[in-house]
Structure 1
Amino acid sequence: MEGKLTTHVLDTANGCPAAGMTIELWKLEENRYQKVSSHTTNADGRTDSPLLIAEAMITGNYELLFMAGDYFAQQTDVLPTPPFLDIIPIRFGIAEATSHYHVPLLASPWSYSTYRGS
């Protein structure tokens, strides 16, 4: 089985998928992060393709950066400047390159949570 990394974002403030949010994937290499890719969520709050798949799925430490401040600024004009939450980082490890890692984000302008999904 080929491993893959996926994500999706739910806008808990508005009760909908977070369409149009920019997400960056970074990998820790030699004590510094290297940018792997950048994506934008679709109407379902997901990326159109996995963030990593097949040979690109390498064990190690990663970070997803969710550009929540920009997203929520487009949803409403009543956010403070600067926003309470701007870029939301989620650091995680991939221990099994043949597994499916799903890292969802549930976010509002004031809070967020994540978990390892399936």
Structure 2
Amino acid sequence: LYKQLVDKRTTLQTLLNSKIKRLLTHTKYSFYTQGGKCGRMLAKALQQNTQRTYITTIKSKDGTRTHLIPAILKEFHAFYTNLYNLRQTPPRPEEITHFLSNRITQTIPTN
């Protein structure tokens, strides 16, 4: 019984080794045929990644779906502007100084 088990394991290992060898040969062939054009393989991988993260449509505030890129950008801009209450004009230097003077208690000495 033990000898049969060992024989079956050996047979299985031989089959797995031949399958692995075939896959390795296929991979080597794939890289060989690409030659110095490994950039093509990288570009394909990046394209697949880009397709997964690309936003094709977005639902606007009023519930309609938007497919046009400028409209999608406008919706994102409106959302984040509203989220952070951004002003259209930057704050004046005096406002920045006043804001920081109340919050910064230590300064770095200058030499």
- TM over 0.5, shorter chain: no
TM-score where L is the length of structure 1: 0.16
Of Structure 1 and Structure 2, which has the larger fraction of its residues in strand? 1
Of Structure 1 and Structure 2, which has the larger fraction of its residues in helix? 2
Q: Greater RCO between the two (CA within 8 Å, min separation 6)?
A: 1
